[in-house]
Chain A
Amino acid sequence: MSSLHRLEEFELDVLKEVGNIGSGNAATALSTLLDKPVDMAVPKVSVVPFEEVAERVGGAEELVMAVFLRVEGEAPGNLFYIMHPVAAKRLLGRLAAMEVEEDLEYSEMELSALSEIGNILAGSYLSSLADLTGLGLSPSVPAVALDMAGAVLSYGLMQYGEMGDAALLIETKFLDAGEQLDGQFFLIPDPDSFAILFQALGVRES
């Protein structure tokens, strides 16, 4: 994956800032919805071998609740919001004022509410990114899955498959020590989107 390994240190920093602004906005949206503060860790930007991607959320077999959206527009990519299944239940309990039991059974209604929450968070992530870059970016209809982390995340790596054995992840953790509503955002820009992002941000000549 020649183009990925050629990314310079400052370019990775630029992508980190992209993650920071996007997820900062999403954290604000979540905090408004919850009416309580949501903390966010400093985003990590790294080129991760396929093998290790699922390790970022606890291993290939770890059960996760995932909301997936395809980023469409001028700099396409994949966006995941990944939660621990119990954290997802707590989020529903708090946000949608649903009576929830902390087990692994999800009703259609609960899944639909989760995908709407994912939609709101992803929408605020992307709209801040679009404002920053001046690029047209919009989220697809969200899809949810409660399944093994490896099976879910590998779906977002296919665009990289034909270029190498690693993908670039922009990763942000939401933290909420009190009630453990923690979640993780993964933005995985398509390999061809970097040049477009860098150009839009004025850090690379066209």
Chain B
Amino acid sequence: MIQQNVVKVGMADLNVATRGECIRTSGLGSCVGLTLYDPDRKVAGMAHVMLPDSAIAREETFNRAKYADTALPLLIEELEKAGAKIGRLLAKMAGGSQMFASLGKSDSLRIGPRNVESCMQMLDRYGIPLIGEDTGGSHGRTIELDSETGILYVRSVQQGTKEL
């Protein structure tokens, strides 16, 4: 069997996989793994989004992959370079937990749900349909998107692996 190549995406990072490669990010907590897939070209993209909105950035030049509102346009650009068409893109996402839900509901603790909301708004703005989602809860997730099939595998400690 041919070993599939795995493209890794770090925290506050994004990347693109083609030609049957898989793309993967590990240990999502309140962060959201936002994925886009062009089934026609079999091109897959993934962003590990950490924060909802770049308006809070206190740095002069910031990493666009970190914020939901800047990560999506950047991911689309990278996918288009790899041959994808925005009109064909389908989105799936996972993550956005509240890891320590018992601590309460202050705004900074709700970062996971806010990341999810912000990703949804951005997808809506770009008219990209969200066809699969495994978000919320209070557990970590590792996700992997297969660029051949477009299947998103979501693994967690308690619940094993799900397919989206």
Contact = CB atoms under 8 A, between A and B. Distances in A.
Contact of B31 (A59, A140, A154): A154
User: Which of B30, B99, B139, B157 is most buried by chain A, counting CB atoms within 10 A of its CB?
Assistant: B99
Contacts of A152: 29, 99, 140
Contact of B100 (A54, A155, A159): A155
Interface in A159-193: 159, 161-165
Given A61-B142, A165-B66, A146 B99 contact: no
Interface in B98-153: 99-100, 102-103, 108, 111, 138-142
Interface string A129-147: 0000000000011010111
B50 A154 contact: yes
Contacts of B28: 150-151
A61 to B, nearest CB: 5
Contacts of A154: 11, 27, 29-31, 50
Contacts of B111: 158
A148 B50 contact: no
A151 B99 contact: yes
A50 B140 contact: no
A68 B138 CA distance: 14
A150 B139 CA distance: 11
Interface in B18-61: 26-31, 50-51, 56-59
Interface in A46-72: 50-51, 54, 59-61, 63, 68, 70
A161 B57 CA distance: 8
B78 interface: no
B30 A148 contact: no
User: Which of B26, B100, B138, B157 is most buried by chain A, counting CB atoms within 10 A of its CB?
Assistant: B100
B59 A59 contact: no
A147 B157 contact: yes
A81 to B, nearest CB: 13
B140 A143 contact: no
B10 interface: yes
Contacts of B108: 158-159
A158 B99 contact: no
B10 A50 contact: yes
B12 A50 contact: yes
B29 A155 contact: yes
B119 to A, nearest CB: 15
Contacts of A147: 29, 99, 139-140, 157
B15 interface: no
B158 to A, nearest CB: 8
Nearest to A59: B26
Given A2-B59, A61-B27, A140-B103, 5 more contacts: A50-B50, A147-B157, A158-B108, A162-B58, A163-B59
Interface of A: 1-2, 50-51, 54, 59-61, 63, 68, 70, 140-141, 143, 145-152, 154-155, 157-159, 161-165
Interface of B: 10-13, 26-31, 50-51, 56-59, 63, 66, 97, 99-100, 102-103, 108, 111, 138-142, 157
5 contacts: A51-B10, A59-B26, A147-B157, A150-B29, A158-B51
